[in-house]
Structure 1
Amino acid sequence: MGKLFGLRSLVGAAAVAASMGGAAYAQDLKLGLAHNVGPDHVMAETLNYFADRVAEFSDGSIEVVVYGGGQMGETRDVVPMMQQGAMDMNKSFHGELEAFEPSFFVFNVPYLFQDIEHLRRFLYSDAGTELSESVNDKGFFNLAAYGAEARSFYTNKPIRKPEDLDGAKIRVFATPTTNRMVELMGGAPAPIPWGETYSAIQQGVIDGSENNITSYVAARHYEVAKIYSKDEHTMVVDYLSIATKTWDKLTDEQKSVLKRAARASEEHQQEVYTIQVADAYKLLEEKGIEIVEVDKEAFRKSVQPLIDELMQDPEKAKWIERARALAAE
């Protein structure tokens, strides 16, 4: 186990993963699960909870070995490994899934979801289920969905209106929708890997990043970007994905255990996330981090050209309208 920590190359990670997931399964089953977040992140805690429930529900006959902190690389590296049968499971971020199924763009549409309750109504609706299942023919599929609160900008100066972003280099997970959004707001999108964001801000390579409050705290980005400006432009969705090649080797009983544990992890994530949000704001207050309230209407107006462009595409318009239909009255 000790030699696994610190692996970053896809080739090396794939070789290690293949030794876990490539052989036919015996009665006692070991599955690998990769994620790219640190141990304090809500998703790290949630996936550990999933692994514990799998062990409990299977009476110890199934072990989920969690490889966290990007040991197996970013999702864009691990998804091909799942497709090849070299990794069993992965935490898949919605932006990364967009490369495999364009419909996941819906989570990158600025100001589409009112709040986390609206997001969760969509995730667990017929529309959300259809979206989740849209990758089922890609060599993997999603066992669970986890919604989190909105992403905002953090830098070392207040961002109260779009003009304050003028020319600022902002780390994003690059998708066409996200890049266009940041450009319309006045910033310059910088596609830097999540794990390199801290040092990139620290060294002045970029001016800041954007993410939700729990990720900002868990990654300790508040140490290098000390002002969090709550424009709350888009939401965050993660999925628990499993390789089709892995699933097809499982017995019906083993599949039932994983499904049951996945549902339990969704409920757990909602409970623990509420606590972590409160804890994050408390820590930031103690650290003297400035939380800036912004002119959200100005930000909404700045991205209206993007909304207009998306609505001209019938397929994209369909998903936007399905999300809007689940907004609170």
Structure 2
Amino acid sequence: MFSKLLAAGAALLLMASSPALAQTQLKLATDSGAKGSPSGDALDRWAKLIEDGTNGEVQVDVFYQNELGSQAEVFDLFVAGDVDLMINWPITAYDERLGVLFTPYMVTSWEEAFEAYKPGGWVNTMLVGIYDDLGLKFFGPWPEGFNGVASRGKYAMTPEEASSLKIRVPAMFPMAESVQALGYQTATIDWSEVFTAIQTGVVDGDGANIIYWDYEYFRDVLDYYNQTKMQFVTGIIAMNSGSWDKLTPEQQKVVEESALTVMEEAFEQAQERDQGYIEKAKEAGMNYIEPSPEQLKEMAERVRSQVWPMMESRVGAEIMETIRANAGGL
């Protein structure tokens, strides 16, 4: 009897220590978006899909904007493996090829964007390789929409008008270069300091964001939103490769399929959400400026001619050849 009890106890101990039954804890974070924001909701959705899909074997701790540090600090943690999963807007300091994400006037419609970024799409294929070199696994985009320039007091439709405005831009190549090509002065300011910078006149506005961010965070200090459509703005759904390798094949399948679900839902919701925030901004008193097709064509030609050659030396000739061959027509 005693030997049977010992055997049973040993079996239970073996089961408890089995990797398949052990609970795995993952950290999921974003650098932009508080709880309850669209990106915050996407974090919650991805976490729940993973936990439900693994029957609780994988638990996910969610960290929203600024809870683990600044944009650069959280990306540091992600590359180091101290954060396992992210929906983020990566800085280009680690690899300037990440500037592919911010190539101005690369796609010109929602339909083009979906075809380019979906699994197997030409942008998606480029990013898989770039992320792999960083020790990260690229799942797909978390799309938001086309961006613009928000400003206080006045807005600009020509380079001459833009020359008197200083616009905040994020630290992502070639965001500043794209705004500068339109004629604006620029200043790189951390996201947490943008409201104060606009309020105190350090800058005249915020550039390179979709209207959601300028409405939600800065509508009290901004008067205009000019939909210049320089970039198709998207977050990135990704995982640290070391963290990925620690999962079982079954768990990996759940994490990846859940990421693709979040991506597909975002494409379904983003265009409608973007239009909804345009209406909210108007109702709040912000003047929404929509350039004509002729004005957009002129802007795109100007920015492409100045920024694309600059990108070639930083992201590589092969990448730029792919962009030129596949970019949307003007």
* TM-score normalised to structure 2 length: 0.82
Residue 301 of structure 1: CA displacement? 4.3
Mapped to 2, the partners of 1:237 and 1:90 lie a distance apart of 13
> 2:234 maps to which residue?
237
2:103 pairs with 1:117: no
Contact 2:169 2:206 in 1 (8 A): yes
Q: 1:304 to 1:51 in 2, by over 3 A?
A: closer
Instruction: List structure 1 segments (4+ residues) > 3 angstroms apart after TM superposition.
Output: 310-318, 323-329
Alignment-derived partner of residue 73 in structure 1 = 69
1:159 corresponding residue in structure 2: 156
Between the two proteins, the alignment pairs up a number of residues equal to 303
1:133 and 2:129 are equivalent in the alignment = yes
2:25 counterpart residue number: 30
Query: Secondary structure, in 3 states, of the residue corresponding to 1:303?
Result: helix
Q: Distance in 2 between matches of 1:255 and 1:213?
A: 35
Q: Does 1:250 align with 2:247?
A: yes
CA distance in 2, matches of 1:78, 1:25: 30
CA shift, 1:316, in A, is: 4.0
RMSD: 2.5
Per-residue CA deviations over 1:80-134 (Å, capped at 9, x if unaligned) read 223333221222314x1x3233222223232221123212211121442232332
Match of 1:61 among 38, 52, 57: 57
Q: 1:201 deviation in Å? A: 0.8
Aligned pair 1:272/2:266, yes or no?
no
> 2:190 is matched with which residue?
193
Alpha-carbon distance in structure 2 between the residues aligned to 1:126 and 1:301: 22
More displaced, 205-214 or 106-115? 106-115
Partner-residue secondary structure (3-state), 1:247: helix
Contact 1:116–1:147 under 8 Å retained in 2: no
Larger deviation: 123-132 or 165-174?
A: 123-132
C-alpha separation in 1, matches of 2:122 and 2:107 = 17
Q: Residues 315 and 179 from structure 1, CA distance in 2 versus in 1: closer, same or farther, beyond 3 angstroms?
A: closer
Residues 181, 307 of structure 2: 8 Å contact kept: no
| Partner deviation per Cα, 1:272-307 (whole Å, 9 max, x = no partner) | 213321321221122121111233244234325424
- Determine the C-alpha separation between the residues in 2 that align with 1:92 and 1:132: 15
Shift of 1:317: 4.6
User: Structure 1 186/279 Cα, relative in aligned 2: closer, same or farther at 3 Å?
Assistant: same
Deviations 1:181-228 (A, max 9, x none): 22232212211111221221112111101211222233x222211210
Structure 1 pair 275–138 and aligned structure 2 pair: CA distance change class (3 A) = same
Compute the displacement of 1:161 (Å): 2.1
Q: Distance in 2 between matches of 1:132 and 1:238?
A: 14
Check the 8 A contact 1:171/1:208 in 2, yes or no: yes
| Residue equivalent to 1:45 | 41
Unaligned runs of 5+ in 1: 1-23
Q: Quick one: structure 1 residues 308 and 109, their matched pair in 2 at CA, closer, same or farther if it must change by over 3 Å?
A: closer
Whole-Å separation in 1 of the counterparts to 2:66 and 2:227: 28
Answer whether contact 1:118 1:326 (CA < 8 A) is retained. Answer: no
TM-score (norm 1): 0.83
Identity of aligned residues (%): 22
CA-to-partner distance for each residue in 1:293-329, whole Å, 9 max, x for gaps? 2332442343254246247659645434434544568
Contact kept? 1:54, 1:257, Cα under 8 Å: yes
| Residue aligned with 1:158, SS | coil
Q: Is the 8 A contact 1:34 1:70 kept in 2?
A: no
* CA positional deviation for 1:75: 3.5
CA shift in 2, pair 1:302/1:324, >3 Å? closer
Please, which moves more after superposition, 70-79 or 250-259? 70-79
3-state DSSP class of the match of 2:106?
coil
Residues of 1 paired with 2:242 and 2:250: CA distance?
17
The AA in structure 1 aligned to 2:54 is S
Partner of 2:289: 292
SS of 2:65's equivalent in the other structure is coil
Contact 1:167 1:187 in 2 (8 A): yes
